Each structure stands twice: as structure tokens, then as C-alpha cells.
A = this chain, B = another copy of it.
Amino acid sequence: MGAVRKLPPTALPRPSARARILSAAADLARDVGPANLSLDAVAARAGVSKGGLLYHFPAKLDLLEALVGDHLETFDRDLETQQALLGAGPAAALHAYLDVSLADCRKQTPPPAGVLAAIVQHPEMLKPIKHFKRQILDRLKADTGHDATTLVAFLVMEGLRSMKLFDADVLSDEETATAMEALRAMIGRIEEAGGV
């Protein structure tokens, strides 16, 4: 057991145990199903003893909360940087949201599986997620000044996200691109109309 584990921590800085545990949990959730996540299995995949896992996350709930928290924080940070990058263009917030959501969906190892595990095991963890999404939606509506288009864009991204969440793409990449194009065109139309 644990034979390979003794590389010097200075060379190639192995990701922190905490990070390894989190990503192992997300991977496992995708492999065995979000409902069947066990601490033993997470520890094994992360290359950590069970004692070590419990050192970082004293209870399972703590691990699940971290899974959700990390995801939300990352998304929020990405959103801000992208919005800064786009500057003060028309409907910049909405475009940034589209960009980041799409990029999030494209990540090969989607943390969403971990988030899903958290939600289905402790439904009350939806609350922060709901709150987060609501905030974003309100910000987008304020930014575009055109509710209908914003809502449609928001829902489209939610649809895309839900497919990735379950690791069950129904759409091909081309179809996704087609939909995104139509969406951008729609947004462009409200820009021309002086909506922004």
C-alpha cells in the first residue's frame, strides 16, 4: 500500500492533499454515480488514508460543502475576470456569462459531478446554489435591460449545464455552437435596438 507515494514534495509540487481529495471525489462521483460516493473510496482514489481524509474534512458533509463552495467560487472568479476582459461593451455581463458557462461545460473533468453528489445527498445544499444563480440572473437582467432575451439566454445555459452535470450530452458540439450563435445573434439584436 502507498508504495509510490514518496516523491520529494519540492520537485513537481504535488497538488495539496485537500485539492487531490476534492478532485478525486468529483471523479468518483462521475464514475460510480453521485449517490454512491463513499469516504473510503474517495480516500483510496486520492491516495490518502482515511484518517488523512478525515483530517481535512471531519465529516462527509464538510467534504460535500467544499465541493459546492469551490465550484461556486471558481465560477464567480472566472466570471469577474472574463467581464473585466470584455470591458464595458454592450451586454458585456451577459456575454461574459455565456463565455464562462460554455468554458465550464467544456472542462474535461467537470467538478459538477461533485456538486451533483452534494445536492442529491443533502438537498439543503441547493440553497446557496439557488441564491448564487439568482444573483447572477438579476445582475444580467440589470445589465442588458431586456428581460426576455436574458431569461432565454440564462435558460439555454442552464440546459447546457444540466447535460454536463449528468455527463449526458444530447447535443453534438456543432449543435451547441449553432445554438450559441443564435443566442448571440439574439443578444446582438437588442444591442442594435439600443437596449443597452
Please report A residues at the B interface, Cβ cutoff 8 Å. Answer: 30, 32-36, 116-117, 119-123, 126, 129-130, 133-134, 137, 147-149, 151-152, 154-163, 165-168, 170-171, 175, 178-179, 181-183, 186
Contacts and interface: CB of A to CB of B under 8 A. Distances in A.
Contacts of A119: 33, 166
B126 A152 contact: no
The number of times this chain is found in the oligomer is: 2
A162 B134 CA distance: 15
Contacts of A117: 35, 120
Contacts of A170: 130, 133-134, 137
Ranked 3 nearest A-B pairs via Cβ: A158-B159, A162-B162, A35-B35
A27 to B, nearest CB: 13
A154 B159 contact: yes
A50 B181 CA distance: 53
A68 to B, nearest CB: 13
Contact of A120 (B120, B122, B126, B175): B120
A178 to B, nearest CB: 5
Contacts of A120: 33-35, 116-117, 120
Contacts of A149: 182
Nearest to A119: B166
B151 A171 contact: yes
B168 A152 contact: no
A17 B168 CA distance: 33
A123 B156 contact: no
Given A35-B34, A35-B35, A35-B121, A155 B130 contact: no
A119 B165 CA distance: 11
Contacts of A186: 186
